[in-house]
Amino acid sequence: MFRRLSRWAVTVPLALTLAVGLSGCGSGDSAAPAAAASPGGGDTTLTVFAAASLTGTFTELGKAFEATHPGTSVKFNFGSSATLAQQIVQGAPADVFAAASPATMKTVADASLASGPVTFVRNKLQIAVPADNPAKVDGLRDLADPKVKVALCAEQVPCGAAAVKALDAAGLKVTPVTLEQDVKATLTKVELGEVDAALVYKTDVLAAAGKVKGIDFPEADKAINDYPIAALSGAPAPEPAKQFVDLVLSPQGRDVLTKAGFEAP
Q: Do the Cβ atoms of 55 and 262 come closer than 8 Å?
A: no
Would the annotation count 227 as a binding residue? no
With CB under 8 A as the contact rule, the residue among 180, 217, 231, 248 that binds another protein is 180
Subset of residues 184 to 243 that bind another protein, contact rule: CB under 8 A: 185, 189, 192-195
Is residue 29 close enough to count as binding another protein by CB under 8 A?
no
Is residue 30 close enough to count as binding another protein by CB under 8 A?
no
Is residue 142 close enough to count as binding another protein by CB under 8 A?
no
Task: Write the interaction track for another protein spanning residues 53-92; mark x where CB under 8 A is met and - where it is not.
Answer: ---------------------------x-xx--x------
E-strand stretches of the chain: 44-51, 72-79, 96-98, 118-123, 125-130, 150-153, 178-180, 197-201, 212-215, 225-231
Nearer Cβ to another protein (159/229): 159
With CB under 8 A as the contact rule, the residue among 98, 154, 197, 200 that binds another protein is 154
Q: Which of 85, 76, 96, 81 is nearest to 182 (CA)?
A: 81
How many residues touch another protein under the rule CB under 8 A: the total is 21
Amino acid of residue 250: S
Helix, strand or coil, per DSSP, at residue 37 = coil
Burial class (CB in 10 A: 0-12, 13-18, 19+), 32: middle
Would the annotation count 6 as a binding residue? no
User: Alpha-carbon distance 58 to 17, whole Å?
Assistant: 33
Annotated binding residues for molybdate, as ranges? 53, 81, 183, 201
Contact residues toward another protein (CB under 8 A) are 80, 82-83, 86, 149, 151, 154, 156-157, 176-181, 185, 189, 192-195
